[in-house]
Amino acid sequence: MTCPRSSFYAPRLWNQGKAWIDFTPARTPAELDAAIRTGWVCYDPHEMFPGDLERAITYFSRLALEAAKRMPGRKFVVIDELGWSVSGHKLPFPLKQTVQSGRRWGLDGVFMGQQPNELHNTIRCQLTEVVCFQLTDERALEFPRKFGFDPEAIRALDPAKHQFICRNNRGGEQRG
């Protein structure tokens, strides 16, 4: 996996109890400032914003966008379980700015969630690639179907083998 010099993560990326990317999470403004200077940020919002993940994603999005404006090169903001922080009906303005204008400062986004229908339409409309693991819920399959996926192929994916289907907005597809 090739990683850019500057990345912002919220929260930590996990797989079966082990970190995929093992960073000490930043939990305070001072720790975030120190992490930004290294070019890698793993943000755990639960200390600063206990029980208020929408406020946390607002803060984090503003922070990532402002840091991206001051840093050279390509950057990524990676947000795991975005559906926990925002609903399909309301998108915090700083996250909307990050999604719609972040590329101007070299900031791209990677957004993950268990159900694509929980992602706000502003985010879904900006996607150039979508990776699906097994989904079985009809509502969760609506967006992948519109993006060109075969819903039955998605249902048939084996989660124990980490099978996936990835499609881009030009019709390209990869399976694994």
Segment 119-174, tens digit of pLDDT: 888 898 888 999 999 999 999 999 999 999 999 999 999 999 989 999 999 989 99
* pTM as predicted: 0.79
Could you give the residue range(s) of every CATH 3.40.50.300 domain in the chain?
Answer: 6-127
Q: Which pLDDT score, from 0 to 100, does residue 7 have?
A: 46
Is the predicted pLDDT of residue 12 greater than 60, yes or no? no
Whole-Å CA distances, 136 to 83, 85, 142, 156: 17, 22, 11, 9
Question: Does domain 6-127 correspond to CATH entry 3.30.450.20?
Answer: no
Selection from 91, 84, 70 nearest residue 8 by Cα: 70
Average pLDDT, stretch 7-15?
45
Is the predicted pLDDT of residue 101 greater than 90, yes or no? yes
The encoded tokens of residue 48 equal: 């600063």
Q: Which pLDDT score, from 0 to 100, does residue 22 have?
A: 63
- Could you say which DSSP state residue 114 is in? S
Selection from 40, 166, 55, 61 nearest residue 122 by Cα: 61
